[in-house]
Structure 1
Amino acid sequence: MLNVIQLLPDSIANQIAAGEVVQRPASVVKELLENSVDAKAKSVQVIIREAGRNLIQIVDDGVGMTETDARMSFERHATSKIRSSDDLFRIRTMGFRGEALASIAAVAQIEMRTRRAEEELGTLIRIEGSDIKTQESISCLPGTNLLIKNLFFNVPARRNFLKSNSVEMRHILDEFQRVSLANPEVAFSLFHNDQEIYNLPAGKLSRRIVDMFGKSYREQLNHCEEKTPYVTVHGYIGKPESAKKARNEQFFFVNNRYIKHNYLHHAVVGAYEGTLPEGSHPFYVLFIEIDPSHIDINIHPTKTEIKFDDERSVYAIMMAAVRKAVGVYNLSPSLDFDSDVNFLMGGRPASGKSTAIDTKSERSDGLAVKSDVPERNTARPITPSWASATPVNERSSLRNDSLDKAAGSSFDMPKAKPSVNNWQTLYEGVAGADNPVQLPSNTEEGGDWLGAARQESHPTESEPITLGSRANQLQINVESGEESVPVLVDDDNIVQIQNRYLLAPIKSGMMLIDQRRAYERILYDQFYAALTKRNGASQQLLFPKTITLMPVDFQLALDLRDDLMNLGFEFDELGANTFVIRGIPTLTMGENEEELFANLLAQLRADTGRLKLDKSESMARSLARRSAMRHVARLSTTERRALVDQLFISANPSYTPAGERITIVLTLDKIAGLFHQ
């Protein structure tokens, strides 16, 4: 029998090893930037062509290498930082040449020029697919100049799996940001196709953050620091009002190495003590200094995930550090002793005033809600007059609307008894099919789909009438583990709970509807239809808005220009990383235009590579989730019926696009069982 096991040639073994290190051009940029930092460079220049497919050039002014070191750096298992097995647990550097260079050289054409400052001549080495083509002495500047050409030229299958240039460039920008933030004392610059993307001078961490993310971050940065014998935490956190829905501006660095750690992220969010809107994430750049013997960095090929030997202690110290910064810089809600708590439902102040404590809190949709508590020495408790309540009017001012939400109750309020003389009105609309409520049935058209419901709302609800609704004729099938749910028995008695849930009576019991998720499902269907049919309605802005974005988001907007315009956005370039917004989708009216546009791009960037969705579906999901948050508000009775009606003519009324439950059925048996526990 012939032997079948053979040693692989070095060229093939290097290509296999390269598969773990060099996944895409961004992997090359990360490794070479970290090498330049370890070479004690004070200035690093990155030049990219065609998102790294054709050229990645890294030029630094570090210590350079001797001729022998330059040659050895391309050998497998060559390193400058490990001499014994004990060194594996004391690593603090990123790697000075070597290790990654062998893997990169296996799948690219490399040209390296390097010289030490104390030597007169440098070294030039050319390598193609692990084969050394040239090695000679040349005259060059001190430091190292590395050119990586035609990545994956000898592995065409790997090259075909690369994404579009815009996607690959976003990954390069992410890696560049991380290394730049970790080393603010080093000057960095980045050029793509001869266009300058970043030019970051050396300085303090606060300046690096402002230079990278924009001047608007100057006002939201707050220093955070906590020192203990076990671990030291320092860096900057953002104010709660600057939190964003997308989670892509959170940076942890352990011993100056970027990591991802959901457990520590939970500690940071918990330290804000409920001041963040629901689903929002604060900005932070936090550094953790710890003895390398207490961590394990070799649990992930890219070393972006690590383990602590005592995670609970690190969690507690991290939360204490952030909580201290939140308290010192007064980021928590403040007390206002000059407000008037005597508000009626319609946002009108009552006659007579009383000093009160106005405690501001954050609602889940990002708006500040005032919870008015009477002062302790107030002699008489304040009793709102529910009889004079008026429904929310869409044309009311923002202040009156917020006061209405603050003073209003989430439940249907007791109504005045209808006059006996008007008994005929009780029979209006009973036929249902003869005069049904005409709600917009075409979810593909733009506009306020609750507009018809709002127009039919009366200025007072003292005389209720019965309106027909298609929801009464629908056989609602909800997948709840139970039998099919029958139709609503009385859609006039849909109750709203805490501005977040709707409770509707059905024949078998009750149906609980998540209000925000219901809006998300409805809006998703409309946005997706607009993208696929390219007929999204746009609302022109009376005063166009100017917005400056981060380079990565600017590139993303250019790449998705056609899809964004199909949604209803209208915008033009106005200079470097700047757009002027002239129109927004009609369904998003009432939003802050700049925040809507920026947050949508940030969410799309965060979803890149994480969700295996086509571009249209990902964009519709992101915009629907973003827009649904502002609908967590008090609804009139007619608006509740309209919401239920629209939900059950959607593509899937039971689940959101992300698979979250929208409806839950509580049968009479389940309800009875709750009283026998």
Structure 2
Amino acid sequence: MADIIQLLPDNIANQIAAGEVIQRPASAVKELLENAVDAGATEIKLIIVDAGKTLLQVIDNGKGMSETDARIAFERHATSKIRAIDDLFRIKTMGFRGEALASIAAVAQVELKTRRAEDELGTYIEIENSVVLKQEPCAYHIGTSISMKNLFFSVPARRNFLKSNAAEMRHIIDEFIRVAMAFPHIFFSLTSNGQQVFHLETGNLKQRIVQILGNSYSAKLVSVKEEMDYMNVYGFVGKPETAKKTRGDQYFFVNNRFIKSAYLNHAINTAFNEMIAKDSFPSYVLFIDLDPSVVDINVHPTKQEIKFEDEKIVYAFVQAAVKHALAQFSIAPSLDFTLNADIQGLDAISKPFTHNEQDNAASSNLFKTFTQRNQAHAIEPTNKNELKNWKEFFEPSAPKGDLLSGSSEENYFEYEKPFQSLVTSNQQSVTSNLQLVTHTSSYTIQHCLQLHNTYIIAATQNGFVLVHQQLAHERILYEKYSVAAHGTQMATQKSMFPVSLELVPSDAALLQEILPELQMIGYLIEPFGNNTFVIQGTPADVMHGNEKHSLELLIEQFKHFSSDIKFSKREKLVRCMARQQAIKSGQPLQPKEMVALVEELFTCNTPNVTPTGSPTYVEFKEDYLDRMFQRL
């Protein structure tokens, strides 16, 4: 019987490896940019056509390659960075596995031009499907240019899995930013379809952050810098006012390599405790430098997930560094030492400090507490007679009137009567009797009362319902937008004076991607070039004058909405719109508004829960209320 186990041919093995390394054009962007950085380049240009599907080219002015190196670079596991097994534990460069160029050559048509400073002529190589078609000398400047054309031309099935150009471009921009952010001393540019998206001049880290994230961060960054023998932490965190309702601009780098770490994110979030709202997320660009031997960066093909030898030390140090920076920002704001004219006119400033006044000041107890040894916490004895009536403070004052009497109660409108908390010794019994209604009920709403500007108590024929106003409105809007997004386009409220919206490139790419879906739910937005859009119209729910802010918030929510769940773009957008436009907790409502909201809720197909599964209301039935007060 013949043997059945065979070695895979090189071209098939390379395509399998490419499945791990090159999942989409953005994967190749990451690998090629990192190679250019490792080559010592001071200028790196990225050129994109059709979101990398047609062309993806990286040009650098690094040290270049010899003719032999240029040829062998496309072999599997060919690398200049590993000589012995111990080198794996001392890695300080970006690409080191030697899989990137071999994987790219397996799934695209590749052209390479390169020259070293000591060579008169450079080398030109053309590869297709892992096969070298041409190799010859060429005239070229010092550095390297790699062009990747027609990605996945040899694997049509994988090409079909690529998203739209706008979606793929957004991923490319993300990878570009992650590399450019880590190396502010290198010039980077990104050109897409002939239009320049980024032009990042060399500078310091703060300048690079502002170049990428926008001028709004210019005066809102707090410097972080802590050093110890084990590790260093440096970078910037955004001031509390830059916190967002979604995970916005958050970048972590370990030894200049971008990483994703929920563990370290938690360390920073806890450092911001009580400085930002619990449902907000801080912005930061932080770098951790530590010995490569205590970090394992080879645990994931993208090298974005790493392991630390001692995670607790890293966690504690990052948290402490951010806390220290925020404390300095909070308690040491900039001081203006020039005296106001009004202050200069005061007696203490304008008149001389006489000897008598000096003697009186020196003899005061306050002066002694600051000048005498061990007197910093001295407290003078007080007159005990002043405290003899301290118990009276805790005595209840006499009631001014009986609130339960008829004359007093008549002073309240029906919807303004006080609603006091019910205290029971058996909380579990109460909880078990709160019934979540799981079907559309026909209610006749009689009276409404708003509690804490968040809950609506609506009296019904057989009890009352406790409605959460924000969650209820979210359900109402979700069903409304769902109908629009799946065929019945909503009416657009056109603006008499269109508003222009300028976005950072990554957000501009995202907005371009979701324009068709936005149009279905009532937005009318036109691209204006150079990452600028004109808002010609909005859904009727968007308040006039709030067009720009609502769209910016929608983009921010869409970027980070349920990233762990594979919703369609349309479903994400509908959920984001419903959440954004819903009446917020804490907003006071008029009685008519409360009645209208509750009645509209019960016309929904699924009134009892939000799209994410949170209950919109709880029903208290009359028989349960009678049992609570032992009336049965």
Could you tell which deviates more after superposition, 43-52 or 81-90?
Answer: 81-90
Q: Distance in 1 between matches of 2:214 and 2:433?
A: 47
- Cα–Cα, structure 1 residues 571 and 166, in superposed 2: closer, same or farther, change >3 Å? closer
Q: Say whether residues 1:267 and 2:218 are aligned partners.
A: no
Q: Is the alpha carbon distance of 1:236 and 1:508 closer, same or farther for their aligned partners in structure 2, counting shifts above 3 Å? A: farther
- Cα separation, 1, equivalents of 2:414 and 2:561: 49
User: Amino acid of the residue matched to residue 300 of structure 1?
Assistant: H
Residue 355 (structure 1) aligns with? none
Q: CA deviation at 1:486?
A: 11
SS state of the match for residue 512, structure 2?
helix
> Matched residue of 2:413: which SS?
coil
Gaps of 5+ in 1: 334-379, 382-413, 420-460, 467-477
Q: Deviations over 1:269-293 (max 9, x none)?
A: 2222233345332221111112222
Q: Is the 8 A contact 1:485 1:508 kept in 2?
A: no
Q: Structure 1: how far apart are the matches of 2:407 and 2:183?
A: 65
Q: Where does residue 72 of structure 2 map in the other structure?
A: 72
Match of 1:103 in 2: 103
1:584 aligns with 2:538: yes
Which residue identity is paired with 2:566?
K
Q: Closer, same or farther in 2 for the Cα pair 1:631/1:533, shift >3 Å?
A: farther
Counterpart position of 1:39: 39
Percent identity, please.
47
What's 2:2 paired with? 2
Q: Counterparts of 1:454-469 in structure 2 under 5 Å?
A: 462=413
Q: Distance in 1 between matches of 2:118 and 2:625?
A: 83
Indicate whether 1:564 and 2:526 are aligned. Answer: no
Between 1:23-32 and 1:222-231, the stretch displaced more is 222-231
Once the two structures are TM-superposed, the CA of residue 201 in structure 1 deviates from its matched residue by 0.8
Q: Which residue of 1 aligns with 2:555?
A: 601
Q: C-alpha deviations, 1:170-201, integer Å up to 9, x for none?
A: 11111001111011111001111111111111
Distance 2:163 2:309 in 1: 38
Q: Which residue of 2 aligns with 1:182?
A: 182
Partner of 1:624: 578
- Structure 1 residues 464 and 152, CA gap change in structure 2 (3 angstroms): closer
| Residues 430-441 of structure 1: pairs in structure 2 closer than 5 A | none
Please state how far the C-alpha of 1:101 moved relative to its aligned partner: 0.6
The counterpart of 2:484, out of the listed 525, 530, 539, is: 530
Is 1:290 the equivalent of 2:294?
no
Output the TM-score relative to the length of structure 2: 0.78
Retained in 2: the 8 A contact 1:252–1:287?
Answer: yes
CA distance in 1, matches of 2:307, 2:624: 48
- Letter of the aligned partner of 1:643 in structure 2? L
Over residues 444-472 of structure 1, what are the superposed CA-to-partner deviations in whole Å (9 max), with x where a residue is unaligned? xxxxxxxxxxxxxxxxx635599xxxxxx
SS in 2 for 1:219: coil
Hey, what's the Cα distance between the residues in 2 that align with 1:650 and 1:225? Answer: 54
| Partners of 1:272 and 1:204 in 2: CA distance | 25
Q: Check 1:486–1:36 CA distance in 2 against 1; reply closer, same or farther (3 A cut).
A: closer
Whole-angstrom CA distance in 2 between matches of 1:534 and 1:562: 14
Instruction: Look up the match of 1:198.
Output: 198
Map of 1:417 onto structure 2: 409
The answer to whether 1:546 aligns with 2:503 is no
**Distance across 2 between alignment mates of 1:11 and 1:514:** 60
For residues 311-358 of structure 1, the C-alpha deviation after alignment (integer angstroms, 9 at most, x for no partner) is 22222222222222222223999xxxxxxxxxxxxxxxxxxxxxxxxx
After superposition, the Cα gap between the structure-2 partners of 1:661 and 1:232, relative to the gap in structure 1 and judged at 3 Å, is farther
Aligned Cα root-mean-square deviation (Å): 3.6
State which drifts further: 536-545 or 6-15. 536-545
**1:296-375 to 2 correspondences below 5 Å:** 296-330=296-330
Partner SS state of residue 35, structure 2: helix
For structure 2, the residue ranges without an aligned partner over 5 or more in a row are 334-392, 395-405, 418-431
Structure 1 residue aligned with 2:29: 29
Question: Is the CA contact (8 Å cut-off) linking 1:35 and 1:97 kept in structure 2?
Answer: no
In the alignment, is the contact (CA less than 8 A) between 2:443 and 2:602 conserved in 1?
no
Distance 2:37 2:143 in 1: 12
Aligned to 2:122: 122
Aligned counterparts of 1:138 and 1:325: Cα–Cα separation in 2: 53
User: Does the CA-based 8 Å contact 1:240-1:331 persist in structure 2?
Assistant: no
Q: Is the 8 A contact 1:524 1:621 kept in 2?
A: yes
| Contact 1:22–1:28 under 8 Å retained in 2 | yes
Would you say the 8 A contact 2:440–2:603 is kept in 1?
no
Give the CA deviation at 1:305.
1.2
Equivalent residue, structure 1, for 2:218: 218
- Which segment drifts farther, 589-598 or 149-158? 589-598
Q: 1:94 offset after TM fit, Å?
A: 0.5
**Pairing 1:613–2:567 present:** yes
2:92 partner letter: R
Aligned letter for 1:598?
E
C-alpha separation in 1, matches of 2:31 and 2:506: 20
Structure 2 counterpart of 1:647, from 579, 584, 601: 601
Output the CA distance in 2 between the equivalents of 1:484 and 1:600. Answer: 30
Q: CA–CA distance in 1 between the matches of 2:191 and 2:97?
A: 23
The 3 A distance-change label for structure 1 pair 234 and 486 is same
Distance 1:609 1:464 in 2: 42
1:669–1:296 distance in 2 versus 1, CA, 3 Å: farther
Kept in 2, the 8 Å contact 1:488–1:506? The answer is: no
Assess if the C-alpha contact under 8 Å between 2:441 and 2:602 holds in 1: no
**Segment of structure 1 superposing worse, 547-556 or 38-47:** 547-556
Superposition deviation, residue 23 in structure 1 = 0.3
Could you say which structure has the greater relative contact order, defined with CA pairs below 8 angstroms and 6 or more residues apart?
Answer: 2
| Aligned ranges 1:398-409 → 2 under 5 Å | none
**Amino acid across the alignment from 1:462:** F
Displacement, 1:618?
1.7
Tell me by how many angstroms 1:239 deviates: 2.4
How far residue 85 of structure 1 moved from its aligned partner, in angstroms, is: 1.9
Question: Hey, what's the Cα distance between the residues in 2 that align with 1:105 and 1:166?
Answer: 25
**What are the Cα deviations for residues 366-425 of structure 1, in whole angstroms up to 9, with x where unaligned?**
xxxxxxxxxxxxxx99xxxxxxxxxxxxxxxxxxxxxxxxxxxxxxxx996338xxxxxx
Q: Which amino acid aligns with 1:635?
A: L
CA–CA separation in structure 2 for the residues paired with 1:464 and 1:510: 13
What is the distance in 2 between the residues matched to 1:331 and 1:252? Answer: 26
Measure the CA separation in 2 of the matches of 1:465 and 1:220: 44
Distance 1:541 1:415 in 2: 53
CA drift at 1:118: 1.9
Taking the aligned partners of 1:154 and 1:669, their CA distance within structure 2 comes to 69
Q: Which amino acid aligns with 2:559?
A: R
Q: 1:164 to 1:535 in 2, by over 3 A?
A: closer
In 2: Cα distance, 1:113 partner to 1:134 partner:
12
Alpha-carbon shift at residue 205 of structure 1 (Å): 1.2
Query: Are the aligned partners of 1:73 and 1:97 in contact in 2 as well (CA < 8 Å)?
Result: no
Which whole-Å CA distance do the structure 2 matches of 1:295 and 1:645 have between them?
58
Structure 1 position 610, deviation (Å) = 5.1
Tell me the equivalent position of 1:165.
165
Closer/same/farther in 2, CA of residues 648 and 185 from structure 1, 3 Å limit:
same
Question: In structure 2, what is the Cα distance between the partners aligned to 1:117 and 1:234?
Answer: 35
Kindly state the Cα deviation for residue 77 of structure 1 after the two structures are TM-superposed. Answer: 1.5
Deviates more, 1:40-49 or 1:569-578: 569-578
TM-score, length of structure 1 as denominator length = 0.73
Whether 1:519 aligns to 2:470 is no
Partner of 2:425: none
Alignment CA distance shift 1:42-1:3 (3 Å): same
Which residue identity does 1:83 align to in structure 2?
R
For the Cα contact (< 8 Å) 1:487–1:507, is it kept in 2? no
